[in-house]
Amino acid sequence: MKVALEKLDKNRVKLDVTVDEEAVAKAYQQAYRHVAGRVNVPGFRRGKAPRHLVELRVGREYLKEEALDHALQESYPAALDEAKVEPIDRPEVDVVEFEEGKPLHFTATVEVKPEVTLGQYKGLDIQPEKVDIKEEEVAKELETLQARQAQLVAVDQPAENGSFVVMDFEGFIDGVPFAGGKAEGQLIELGSHTFIPGFEEGVVGAKAGEERDVKVTFPADYRATELAGKDATFKVKVREVKKRELPPLDDEFAKGLGAKDLEDLKTSIRRRLQLTAESESRRKYGEAVIEKVAGNATVDVPETMVNRRVDEMVHDLEHRLEDQKMTMEKYLDYTSQTVDAMREQFRPAALNGVKNDLVLEAVAKAEGLTADDGDVNLEMARLSKLYGRSPDDIRKLFGDRERLDSLKESITLQKAVRFLTKVEPEPKAEGAAETAPTPPPAA
């Protein structure tokens, strides 16, 4: 195979490829076997008919097209490898010559990953933020735990902001009840702004057993457009007024949470806050370093890669919405967006992400950082443990070349980040969930 590379404008290249007669003959033989296995030739079992009879059955041009497909499927990837270019889109192929007994000559014009000119990426004047957990933070976390263990107890006093009120209510507009405006035994924390403006304020001062008419006006941008901007009256009956009763912060409280005593609980909280804060510090430091390195580099980011990253972001959002039992259509309606507006909103982050990845790839190349079989095995073992699936299952998911190359690329980028930040994979914080890339779809 002979490959000549011509660089065109805007990250496009043209490959001029010549494939020898032997490879062409092989492609014709593959095409014959493929076609013979699909057609019926009287007097022969499928796949056993002589080639000339198969040609008579399907036509010489049909067999030639099949042979060309086989030849291109093998020669185009090989030409990319020889030219050492990475395509980011489908090629425009022009067949110059293809005849049995002669070489295959074709050109392929394709958009490729851009060249990156690195600026300074070593010795950057950036340091991770030092972490120091203060006693006030520990105390605040204790208060949060205390609040989670609180109980609601009924009180014989008027409701006030911070009170919890159990109530029945029904809403009316012009004396007519409206859909969704009625509830029984509803628990509301006054001052939480859970309901529309004016509702909770209208219940302040009420006692258990009291009935009130609460007048409100729905906001002009209320999501139920049939109610937006309209005046309404809610007939409210207060069943109970409750307040939150906090447990005392003592050794018994700590034991209930699995600690030896209150001091042991504080130590555990301090350690967890320290690990979490250090993790956040590492994250911010890593982002700052990558942004600085990317800012010092020069690269023309292709629109194709940005659009593909936006596609990925939209796809990820769809998955998250599915987990919340919501469709993309409902989400767009709720947020008053169009698909185009949402994609435009994602664009800056997509552009920044693509540029950062391209620069990290360039750093990895400059420093000879690659993902070998050992790295892949370690990552697969981690994914196996994380997703609770057998190593064989994980290997099957990454069975084809495209997925395996994607995994290796991800590992290489991680190595580049660690090289730039000199930070090794962080320890897992107590009680924290390990994060992982989205697993590939089942094969």
Taking only the tens place, the pLDDT of each residue in 222-261 is 888 889 999 999 999 999 999 999 999 999 999 999 999 9
Q: 436 pLDDT exceeds 60? A: no
Q: Which of the four pLDDT bands, split at 50, 70 and 90, describes residue 341?
A: very high
Contact 214, 199 (CB under 8 A): yes
CATH of domain 152-245: 3.10.50.40
Predicted structure pTM score: 0.69
Q: Over the stretch 152-208, which tens digit does the pLDDT of each residue have?
A: 999 999 999 999 999 999 999 999 999 989 999 999 999 999 899 999 999 999 999
- The reported pLDDT for the residue numbered 423 is 61
Read out DSSP for 371-425? --HHHHHHHHHHHHHHHT--HHHHHHHT-SHHHHHHHHHHHHHHHHHHHHH--PP
Ramachandran class of 16: left when φ > 0, alpha when ψ lies in -120 to 50, beta otherwise: beta
Contact 404, 376 (CB under 8 A): yes
What residues are paired with 167 via a beta bridge? 186, 238
Q: Which of the four pLDDT bands, split at 50, 70 and 90, describes residue 142?
A: very high
Contact 171, 181 (CB under 8 A): yes
**DSSP letter, residue 74:** H
Cα 174 to Cα 58, 180, 211, 246, distances in angstroms = 77, 16, 20, 43
What is the pairing mode between strands 231-245 and 164-173? antiparallel
Sheet holding 12-19, edge to edge: 2-7, 12-19, 104-111, 92-97
CATH of 2-111, one of 1.20.1250.20, 3.40.630.10, 3.20.20.70, 3.30.70.1050: 3.30.70.1050
Q: Where are the beta strands (DSSP E) in 64-103?
A: 92-97
- The reported pLDDT for the residue numbered 43 is 76
- The reported pLDDT for the residue numbered 305 is 94
Residues whose CB is less than 8 angstroms from the CB of residue 181 and which lie 6 or more positions away in sequence, other chains included: 169, 170, 171, 172, 232, 234
Q: What is the greatest pairwise CA distance in the chain?
A: 100
Q: Which of the four pLDDT bands, split at 50, 70 and 90, describes residue 336?
A: confident
Lowest mean pLDDT among 117-121, 124-128, 177-181, 400-404: 400-404
State how far the Cα of 52 lies from the Cα of 61, in Å rounded to an integer: 13
Q: Phi and psi (nearest 5°) for 102?
A: -125, 165
Contact 23, 14 (CB under 8 A): no
Other C-beta atoms lying within 10 Å of the C-beta of residue 406: 14
- The reported pLDDT for the residue numbered 362 is 95
Domain range annotation of the chain = 2-111, 121-150+250-300, 152-245
- The reported pLDDT for the residue numbered 240 is 96
- SS3 of residue 104 by DSSP: strand
What is the pairing mode between strands 231-245 and 151-154? antiparallel
Helical axes 339-366 vs 262-296, angle rounded to 10°: 80
- The reported pLDDT for the residue numbered 425 is 54
Residues whose CB is less than 8 angstroms from the CB of residue 186 and which lie 6 or more positions away in sequence, other chains included: 166, 167, 168, 169
Which of 77, 82, 80, 66 is closest to 27 using CA atoms?
66
Specify the higher pLDDT residue, 398 or 313.
313
H or E stretch including 234? strand 231-245
Task: Tell me what the mean pLDDT of segment 75-99 comes to.
Answer: 92
Percent of the chain whose predicted confidence (pLDDT) is above 70: 95
Q: Phi and psi (nearest 5°) for 233?
A: -125, 130
- The reported pLDDT for the residue numbered 368 is 94
Token look-up 């699995």 returns 258
Token look-up 């207060």 returns 238
Task: Tell me what the mean pLDDT of segment 97-106 comes to.
Answer: 92
